[in-house]
Amino acid sequence: MTRRSPITGAGRPPGFVYREEKKGLLRRSAGLFLFCDDIAITKLAEHYGTPLYVYSASVISERFDAFDRAFRHVPHTICYSVKANSNLNILRLLAKGGSGFDVVSGGELERVLVAERRAAKKVVFSGVGKTRDEITAALKAGILLFNVESESELWTLAECAARLRTSAPLALRVNPDVAADTHPYISTGLRKHKFGVPIREARTLYAKASAVRYLQVTGVSVHIGSQITEVAPFAEAMARVAVLVGALRADGHEVNYVDPGGGLGIPYENGAAMNFSDYASDYSKAITRPLRGLNVHVLLEPGRSIVGPAGALVTRVLYRKTNDGKRFVVVDAAMNDLLRPALYGAHHEIVPVRRGEDSSVKFEAVDVVGPVCESGDFFARDRELPRVEEGELLAILDAGAYGMALASNYNTRPRPAELLVSGKSAKVIRRREKVADLLRDER
């Protein structure tokens, strides 16, 4: 099915909009150009090259604040999910706004500590395969909470805490067996998935944990998946968690925290139609209504919903080609730069950085593909796009989450540079790699 990408930019997050650019002594109009905050993306591409990740600091801050306001009626801490985008400068920006962090590896914890050492007290550590070294580092850092995902991990945590003679605050991540409408690779809430412990076994494990000197039972955690755009599954999961909290308190456990996880999705198609404040409010109601009267502190782990729409991958058209009527637009970005379309069949809107008036634009159905030697190296298939010529720029939108975080050096391709734009200033937050960088550590 052929799908048409928008070209107006109307209603997009304010970080990425079309504006008129004027040039020359008489300040004549040079046409409409896509801007990130107050800088034309053409200027960024000319100066920093392509492919290029561009992020809007204003969008990140505004969406974090909107999420925070949505939960203002309950005690809560936002623990940004580092895996969505782990650049140190983005972590610093969020920490400055009051964010805590959700980490799933020792490396991510180290990133948080480098970005803002004091944020350790607002870190939750999730993940099914925490090593002893990672657990020990987190205990020494004094993190807020371990989300424990198995009985074996529970005893490893107890062993590490005893060795340090320190208390390990924990929540069991329970698997509520709630289905969510998302890609099977990022669905996590069913008993067939590797995550968490069955909710029916939780009371037995909590009893075992409470009997161990260096383990401190303090919460319940749950996570049902990622890129979930309907709030009903969250409400269903929290209803089951609320019942469990009541039972645990009846058993004598002190449960102060409930961690609903993350997973709130974004509309990669027709993103212009979404009012994020209303969306976050609906999510908040789904999470908090089942918990009413329990007087718990809610820990939240948004990632994609904060940074996804704040980023774009800018790429230049290398070639146009036609194979027996099939049109291809070959660009200089590839699946190693943005894996989501190849990995999940994910949709990203693609727009020209410079565009004409709507009435004069001619659309054509094309595949937008990269240079990597894989037929899976594509960003769009049979997509109706405004015709673009060789040398022109395209912007792949909503690429702020799981873009650079999943990037690789496949085909010995250096990864792109990353820019953080704030108003009229642009800061390089990761320099473009060189092939020499890729070879340096090899023997």
Beta-ladder partners of 55:
311, 420
Neighbours of 233 (CB within 10 A): 21
**Rg from Cα positions in the chain:** 23
Query: 51: cis peptide before it, omega within 30°?
Result: yes
Q: Which two tokens stand for residue 418?
A: 């990353």
Q: Please report the DSSP string for 51-87 in residue order.
A: SEEEEEHHHHHHHHHHHHHHTTTS-EEEEEEGGG---
Q: Which two tokens stand for residue 148?
A: 């424990």
Q: Which two tokens stand for residue 60?
A: 């990140």
Q: CB-based burial of residue 97 (10 Å sphere; 0-12 exposed, 13-18 middle, 19+ buried)?
A: middle
Catalytic residue among 36, 79, 160, 373: 373
Select from 300, 307, 407 the least CA-distant residue to 94: 307
Contacts of 86 (CB under 8 A, 6+ apart): 108, 111, 405
Select from 59, 38, 197 the least CA-distant residue to 128: 197
Check: CB of residue 310 under 8 Å from CB of residue 13.
yes
User: Percentage helix, strand, coil, to 5, in the chain?
Assistant: 35, 30, 35
Q: Which two tokens stand for residue 387?
A: 């015709």
Instruction: Respond yes or no: is residue 373 known to be catalytic.
Output: yes
Terminal CA-CA length for the chain: 48
Select from 275, 350, 288, 242 the least CA-distant residue to 16: 350
DSSP type of residue 201: G
Check: CB of residue 178 under 8 Å from CB of residue 240.
yes
Residue numbers annotated as active site: 373
